[in-house]
Amino acid sequence: AKEVTNSDSPDTHLLPVSSDESLTTASSLPKKGYRQGDFQAMFFEVAGLTIAVPLIELGGIHKVDKTSSLMGKPDWFKGVMLYRDEKINVVDTALWVMPEKCDQALKDSLNYQYIIMLNDSSWGLMAEHLVDTVVLSQDEVKWLDSSEKRPWLAGLVKEKMCALLDVSALIELLNKGSDINQK
């Protein structure tokens, strides 16, 4: 690696970190609280698809209100909604989760009612229906180790055959402007 020096202090040497050294493995990452013991998950529906989110990573639920769209944002970015002087970045969940299936007929049929806030971020996913909140045991979920292909997917809830979101990874993708395919 080429050495970089700081001109203000000749004794200070900075070496660039190679990307291989900065990677952490899934086993070295701290385990999420819901990965131990029973935990609550909330289920919601979008375009006939059921999605689960760990309740501990839920930042709140709001009724859908007027959104202001912004130029130059991805299609899945519905816009910004104001709630008590707070700006919420609203995600069209169907467009984010299954962009290849979102034809005009599907878009027209969507009846979003709620915005599900992701942890303490400013991101909210649009939902048509809130299904229920259920206590899940560890063996009711097929856990997936954080993969580069689907970092937003923590696991699959076996009985409902639906995705359990990894909220922190999802927030990271949204902050980058990436869709489900990380594009």
How far is it, in rounded angstroms, from Cα 38 to Cα 35?
8
Q: How far is CA 24 from CA 20, 28, 128, 146, in A?
A: 9, 6, 37, 11
pLDDT for 182 equals 76
pLDDT in tens, 15-62: 444 333 333 334 434 567 788 899 999 999 999 999 999 999 999 999
Place of tokens 């001109």: 7
pLDDT for 181 equals 80
How far is it, in rounded angstroms, from Cα 58 to Cα 121?
10
Domain range annotation of the chain: 36-176
**What's the mean pLDDT in 106-120?**
96
Q: Is the pLDDT of residue 7 over 60?
A: no
Count other Cβ atoms within 10 Å, centred on residue 123: 20
Measured distance between the N- and C-terminal CA atoms of the chain, rounded to whole angstroms: 30
Q: Is the pLDDT of residue 13 over 90?
A: no
Q: Is the pLDDT of residue 3 over 70?
A: no
The DSSP H or E segment spanning 20 is helix 19-22
Enter the CATH code of domain 36-176: 2.40.50.180
- Residue 46's DSSP bridge partners are 49
pLDDT for 91 equals 98
pLDDT in tens, 119-175: 999 999 999 999 999 999 999 999 987 667 889 999 999 999 999 999 999 999 999
Strand order in the sheet with 39-46: 129-136, 39-46, 49-54, 162-165, 153-157, 141-143
